[in-house]
Amino acid sequence: MVDQIARDRIKEDLNATLFVEAGAGTGKTTALVGRIVALVCSGVSMEHIAAITFTDRAASELRDQVRRRFEQLVNQDSDTADLAAAALVELDGAALCTLHAFAQRILIDHPIEAGLPPAVELMDDVSGLLEFDERWSLTLHDLLNDPDQTFTVLAGMELGITLDHLRKLALRFDENWDLVEQRLPTAPKPTPLAVDQIVETLQNLTALADHCATSDDKMAEKLNAVAEFTEELARNTADPLSVVRLLSKSPTATGKGAGNKGNWTGEVSVGEVREQLVATHETITDELQRLTNEIIARLIQTIGQSAVAAANQRQRQGQLSFHDLLVLARRVLLHPDHGLAVRKSLSQRYQRLLLDEFQDTDPLQIELAALIADPDTITTDWRQLKPRPGALFFVGDPKQSIYGFRRADISLYLSAQESFDSEGINLERNFRTTGPVIEWVNNIFGQLIIPQAHAQPNYVPLVAQREGSFVGPSVTFLGFDGHEKINADQRRTEDATEVAATITTALAEGWTILDQATGQWRPCRPGDIAILVRTRKPVADLAKALEAAGVPCRIEAGSDPWKNDEVRDLLTTLRAIDDPTDELALITALRSPLFGCSDDDLYAFVSHGGNWNHLEPGKVNLPDDHPVRAGLAWMKKIHEIRPWSNAIELLDRVIRERRAMELAMAHPRPRDAWRRIRTFSDSTRTYCELRSGGLRSFLHWCGLHAHDEVKVDEVVPPEPDDDAVRIMTIHASKGLEFPICVLADLGSTRNTRSLHVSFPAGTTGIAVGFKKDLVNDARRHSQDQSDHHEHLERLRLLYVAATRARDHLVVSLHRKLSKKPAENQVSVCSAEIICEVADPTAVTLSTPVAQPFAVPAPPQTSNLPDLTAWRDDLAAVQERSNRRPTVAATSLTPESTEEDTHTAYGEAGRHGPAAGRAVHKALEIIDFSSDGQAEARQAAAAEDADQKLVASMVSAALRSPSVTAAAQSEHWRELYVAASVDPGLLLEGYIDLAYRDGDGLVIVDYKTDGYQTSEDLDAKVAHYRLQGAAYALMAQKSTNLPIKRMVFCFLGNGPAQERSLDDLSAAMKEARAQAIATR
């Protein structure tokens, strides 16, 4: 039998250091259990064995399997029965645990050597975040109030580094504080930009415009724009921050191919001008990069020192994070005074170390194991250690190394065998997956996983043990042909729809799966199916598509506990209780299921003189049991006990008295709602146990982490009786298997906007990238290698996903086809990678049609309404409630621009960037006959915007023809308008300026967008065409007055430029049609 010799060696060759490469589904855990049992039967006590696994779940499963094997031996009349009985007694205290738990054992056994106090506490997710929050507040305060850091912080902000960036950087440093400590730079204060040299270079460049024979040459126009920029730069040379802001938006970045060579004299050719333009831009870019490096180095030093100091403080206080356990355990073993003594003690106690899932190990794990297995050699390099024969046993699969973001290093796996002179053996026989699926996996990944030194292992083909299923295709492709024109949202919707249709098809056709409990083939059920995704982003679309198809689904591992209706309703209610003046929270809470107030109830309350304040609701002529009055009275009662109650006491009252658990029965999946409520309640209880403070501080903490990258894990316990499709991330599926596995959202591309922090091998620096063009040199130099390793890990991730399937594999390949070659491997989507090597004739290509599916009804226990009729009524109500009653004029643009969508401070804003909002606010209140500078500065200060920029745009607006004409006529500013464009549909918006012109109106809309040329303005007019037409349509229908003109007043580049809609009547018709279409 294939690999039987290798399996026998694992159980028999107990004094050899073995390195087992176990492919997916080859019985790795069984082999590990077999070696443990064999060691005990050979006379090794269970207390002298340590088996280190990757997760708590794996450790629990390993312990259970070992226990069952020993129980079997005890019940047999054999020579090993007594040894097995002794092992059972020792099993509960044995070190069958995760790496962190093993490190904790080391520290508990040697607390004095580790420098720990008598009592040591391990921090969980909530306590760790609380500790970080307190420390980050102090760090940020020091950073913002230190005069030596002023230029660093402010110049960094001008370059695009936000406080949120710094917070996330601090979180990453916390997770890797030992590496940060080793690489902390000594960074001097950043020096300002060499602006005088840059101005001189720009002046030399702009002087070349004299050699152009015509003023309308594109290069000449470009040089004129550069000249204006140079003049502004020269005026601000004394202000280093203004210099940074200006140069970061240098006009030299564009126009490198402009100009007609026929327009330039022989003395200076347009080609020479282009070359100098490029050289000038490179000079500016190099100087900005120099400053960026210095700023990032300074921030690394300051924030890194805080992270290291915090780790040292946690050690002194005995409050340790998971990562602290590993670092401190390693330090104990390497301590120059007592390290050898500790190693010898541990070596005597743990005579055999078995390392499971070694491909995903932290480098610290191999150091701990090697230092214990060789207690005599004095060295800090684990590669020089010589463990005792048989002391170490490694098992893993390098093709499943997918935890690079947790510091797992595949090069460590690839070099460890050579370093320890261990023998490598392979397990190839796959017991999990049917033959046709294994054949497809071998074909695809045999082409994709190509060995590369210290980066990618050799692909060892799997050998199938099982035959294929009877009904249903073994491997199915969806969306193989791809899509020429499709955006990310459309692709994700199409992907989810076809996945749901495929699942209903499988259920309707009865695709057969092998029931592991009975050993018999049977038709599949929803609980036999799992959908695997790389990230959480497509989960909502998948859940929605499955719900529409009538298929129950269960979102596991990776769901965000802050982003669900149950927690949002509870938080909103707590906010309304805490702050009686928060009208939005109060109304939202009343409309939630916790209070059940309809819009009619709310209207009745306010129409009878009610106030949105539960402390002062006003004298309302409504009965006391009116839903709104009763709800406000209850909020007031809870608000009054708030000073004497902590957050968990108040939350418990909300859950209990507003019947949150009972209301979950109306949810399609009540058990999921109950689990989310319990998870939130548990987190709240932990918060209150660890931190004093009232409800407001708790709500602030919740708001802080609602958009954080670090999430409080939602524990999803197994529920075998829950017959529902499971949705989880590929990482969460590691170690699991499913009869039918669906790989979804493979057409998504890499997110390049997230913070990057790494510690490149072979260097002493820390690579940091806040966004694509805001990186330090360490990141720039290591990016190609980092991206390449990320691509290789992505291939291994696909292998892990595909090998989760037992009987059927569905691969959704919906993707956007690109005619341009990809910039690099990492930017190619996973679907495209598979399609490049796949043979479509070897699989089933499917375009499924959704099949009817209904969950079997539970036994009838009472006289309930007809389920079909009730569902029809519910669907009708939901359909009506999902109709948009209003459409905003700003939503009619083809794509939202930064001005329309960008928000500040995490809150919704109508006008986008700070400067844009400030300009609109100033023009709303300003006297058109004044210069408006005082109001402009006040508005800019209120929005934290550039005062000079705001003042300049306000001044330009006041001198524009439209504002000048409005000042001489009756006019209205910031005018709310609305008009019915279809039954039940209201179009609404705010008009910046409207004024009378004879018997009609002129509508003016200010735009603060930046632009360079008249072509830019024409493009912007076309972009905003339907928005402006919507304003005109609403004004006409609301006033019955003709609209003379619709004018866009552009303020983003010097004097105001006005553009009118020439085809206003046609545009108004199109705006109405578009509003109806977006309903």
Q: Check: CATH 3.40.50.740 for 4-120+321-427?
A: no
**pLDDT attached to residue 420:** 78
Euclidean distance between CA atoms 901 and 898, whole angstroms: 5
- Residues 561-598+628-693, CATH architecture: Orthogonal Bundle (1.10)
Q: Which run of H or E residues covers position 975?
A: strand 971-982
**pLDDT attached to residue 726:** 93
Residue 613 has pLDDT above 90, yes or no: yes
Euclidean distance between CA atoms 1035 and 294, whole angstroms: 54
pLDDT tier at 797, thresholds 50, 70, 90: very high
- Residues 466-556+726-752+781-846, CATH architecture: 3-Layer(aba) Sandwich (3.40)
Mean pLDDT of 781-803: 92
Distances (CA, A) of 478 to 486, 812, 813, 832: 16, 5, 6, 13
**pLDDT attached to residue 79:** 79
| CB contact at 8 A, 233 and 246 | yes
| CB contact at 8 A, 524 and 507 | yes
**pLDDT attached to residue 1078:** 78
Encode pLDDT of 565-574 as tens digits.
Answer: 899 999 999 9
Residue 906 has pLDDT above 60, yes or no: no
Bridge partner residues of 749 (DSSP): none
User: Cα dihedral angle (654, 656, 659, 663), rounded to 10 degrees?
Assistant: 90
423 Cα distance to chain centroid: 41
Encode pLDDT of 972-1021 as tens digits.
Answer: 999 999 999 888 889 999 999 999 999 999 999 999 988 888 888 889 99
Domains 4-120+321-427 and 466-556+726-752+781-846 share a fold: yes
Phi/psi of residue 991, each to 5°? Answer: -95, 125
Residue 883 has pLDDT above 80, yes or no: no
pLDDT tier at 717, thresholds 50, 70, 90: low
Euclidean distance between CA atoms 144 and 738, whole angstroms: 52
Tokens at residue 600, please? 């009619």
Euclidean distance between CA atoms 442 and 459, whole angstroms: 9
* Secondary structure letter of residue 856 according to DSSP: P
Encode pLDDT of 160-169 as tens digits.
Answer: 999 989 999 9
* Secondary structure letter of residue 858 according to DSSP: P
Share of residues in the chain with pLDDT > 90 (%)? 58
Task: Report which of residues 35 and 862 the model is more confident about.
Answer: 35
Where in the chain are the domains?
Answer: 4-120+321-427, 126-315, 466-556+726-752+781-846, 561-598+628-693, 886-902+959-1077
**pLDDT attached to residue 1067:** 93
Tokens at residue 212, please? 């152009």
Residue 895 has pLDDT above 70, yes or no: no
Euclidean distance between CA atoms 622 and 611, whole angstroms: 13
Q: With CA atoms as reference, report the closest residue to 647 among 704, 686, 592, 589.
A: 686
> Average pLDDT of the chain?
88
pLDDT tier at 795, thresholds 50, 70, 90: very high
Mean pLDDT of 525-552: 92
Q: Which fold has domain 886-902+959-1077?
A: Lambda Exonuclease; Chain A (3.90.320)
Encode pLDDT of 667-706 as tens digits.
Answer: 888 888 898 899 899 888 988 887 777 888 888 888 776 6
Tokens at residue 71, please? 């129980």
Mean pLDDT of 533-537: 90
Distances (CA, A) of 188 to 162, 185, 603: 21, 9, 62
Mean pLDDT of 811-821: 87
**pLDDT attached to residue 710:** 46
Task: Decide: residue 662, CB within 10 A, 0-12 exposed, 13-18 middle, 19+ buried.
Answer: exposed
Mean pLDDT of 484-507: 93
Mean pLDDT of 128-155: 89
Encode pLDDT of 822-853 as tens digits.
Answer: 777 788 899 999 999 998 888 888 778 777 77
Share of residues in the chain with pLDDT > 70 (%)? 94
Give start and end residues of each alpha helix (H) in 374-420: 410-419
Pick from 199-208, 530-539, 875-884: least confident: 875-884
Encode pLDDT of 212-252 as tens digits.
Answer: 888 888 888 888 889 999 999 999 999 999 999 999 888 88
Q: What is the DSSP string of 948-972?
A: HHHHHHHHHHHTSHHHHHHHTS-EE
Encode pLDDT of 256-271 as tens digits.
Answer: 678 888 888 777 888 8
**pLDDT attached to residue 354:** 94
Residue 69 has pLDDT above 80, yes or no: yes
Encode pLDDT of 919-929 as tens digits.
Answer: 999 999 999 98
Encode pLDDT of 626-676 as tens digits.
Answer: 999 999 999 999 999 998 899 999 999 999 999 999 999 988 888 888 988
**pLDDT attached to residue 901:** 37
Mean pLDDT of 773-783: 91
- Per this entry, what is the length of the chain? 1079
Measure the CA angle with vertex 679, ends 675 and 682; round to 5°. Answer: 135
pLDDT tier at 561, thresholds 50, 70, 90: low
**pLDDT attached to residue 872:** 85
pLDDT tier at 957, thresholds 50, 70, 90: very high
Q: Which run of H or E residues covers position 794?
A: helix 777-802
Instruction: Dump strand ranges (E) for 495-557.
Output: 512-514, 521-523, 529-533, 553-555
Encode pLDDT of 273-282 as tens digits.
Answer: 888 888 999 9
